[in-house]
Amino acid sequence: MSNLRLYRYLALIIIGFILLGLLFIALFSKSSSNQTPKEGPQPNKNYSYVSKEDQQVLAQDSKVAQLIKKLPFQGKYFKLEYSFSGNVFILTFNRNQEVLANNEFAIFLKDNQILSESWLQKLQKIGK
């Protein structure tokens, strides 16, 4: 009989521990979710804005980057180089063949999907 009473007490203590444990888990889970900062970048949100118009500019710039990869380029009447440090294109040509050089250069740009010389932004023309 006394053993039975002992088992009852033990059972009560065990149940108490389990309840206490569940309480701890509930509390810790709650406090840990509270600790998670609501600040900070949120997933699936874009913090970098690019307008549709500017996307076109980015695409143009990307074409220019593709062109840079082909440089230096030696044509029949001109040579085109790019200086990474100066961020400048250098076009050299024979002064006596300037018209021919300009025409060839225009075709070269078009072939590389560069629709305007202005896309290059910095272009030094050196006639020799």
Partner 1 sequence: MSRYLFLIITFLLFFGVLAPIIHAQTVPSNSFCTNVGGADPKQNPCAQAAGNLTFYCQHDDRWRKNPYACENMSGAGCGPTTMAMVLSAYGMTLTPAQIAEMFTPQFSVCNVGTDMVSALGKGEKPNRSFIDQVGLEVGKNILINGKLDLDLAQEYLRPSSGYLIIGSSINFPTCGCGHIFVIQAADPTSNMIKIRDPNNCSISSPEERPSGIDYPVSKITSWLFAYPVKKVK
Q: Does the footprint of partner 1 cover residue 43 (CB under 8 A)?
A: yes
Distance CA 115, CA 64 (A): 10
Q: Which amino acid is at 60?
A: Q
Among 5, 40, 118, 128, binds partner 1 (CB under 8 A): 40
Exposed e or buried b for every residue in 105-128, given b needs 16+ CB within 10 A? beebbeeeebeeeebbeeeeeeee
Q: Does the footprint of partner 1 cover residue 37 (CB under 8 A)?
A: yes
Residues in 1-20 at the binding interface with partner 1, rule: CB under 8 A:
7, 10, 14, 17-18, 20
Distance CA 4, CA 9 (A): 9
Q: Phi/psi of residue 80, each to 5°?
A: -120, 130
Binding mask 81-110 for partner 1 (x = CB under 8 A): ---xx-x-----------------------
Contact residues toward partner 1 (CB under 8 A) are 7, 10, 14, 17-18, 20-22, 24-25, 28, 32, 35-37, 39-51, 53-54, 56-58, 61-62, 64-66, 68-69, 84-85, 87
